Structure 1
Amino acid sequence: MSGEVRQRYMQANYIDVGSTDSTYAFMGAGFSELNESPSAQTSSKRYINDKAQTKRVTGYDWSSSFNTDQIRSEEAVDFICKIGELQKVGGDAETDYVIVDLDQKVGDTGSSYHARKFHVAVEISNFENNDGEMAASGNLLQIGNLTEGTFDTNSKTFTASV
Structure 2
Amino acid sequence: MAETRNVIADYLNIAESGVTEEYALMGVGITKLDESFGAQSEGKCYIHQKTKSNSIKSYEEEFSFESELISDEKVVMALYNVGRNNLTGKEAEKDYIRVETFRPISGAENTYAARKFRVAVEVSDCSGDGGENLTVSGSLKAVGDFVDGKFDKTTKKFTALGES
Q: TM-score, with normalisation over the residues of structure 2?
A: 0.93
Choose 18-27 or 43-52, whichever is displaced more: 43-52
Alpha-carbon shift at residue 53 of structure 1 (Å): 1.2
Within 2, Cα distance between the matches of 1:103 and 1:140? 23
Please tell me whether residue 37 in structure 1 is matched to residue 36 in structure 2.
Answer: yes
Please tell me whether residue 72 in structure 1 is matched to residue 67 in structure 2.
Answer: no
Aligned positions, number: 159
Within 2, Cα distance between the matches of 1:57 and 1:72? 42
Which residue does 2:155 correspond to in 1? Answer: 155
Within 2, Cα distance between the matches of 1:109 and 1:63? 30
Within 1, Cα distance between the matches of 2:80 and 2:105? 33
Within 1, Cα distance between the matches of 2:65 and 2:58? 23
**Structure 1 residues not aligned, in runs of 5+:** none
**Structure 2 residues not aligned, in runs of 5+:** none
Please tell me whether residue 14 in structure 1 is matched to residue 11 in structure 2.
Answer: yes
Within 1, Cα distance between the matches of 2:147 and 2:109? 21
Aligned pairs for 1:75-90 within 5 A: 75-90=74-89
1:82-140 CA deviation, whole Å, 9 max, x = no partner?
A: 11111111111001111000110002341110001110000000001143311100000
CA RMSD of aligned residues (A): 1.1
Q: TM-score, with normalisation over the residues of structure 1?
A: 0.94
Which residue does 1:127 correspond to in 2? Answer: 126
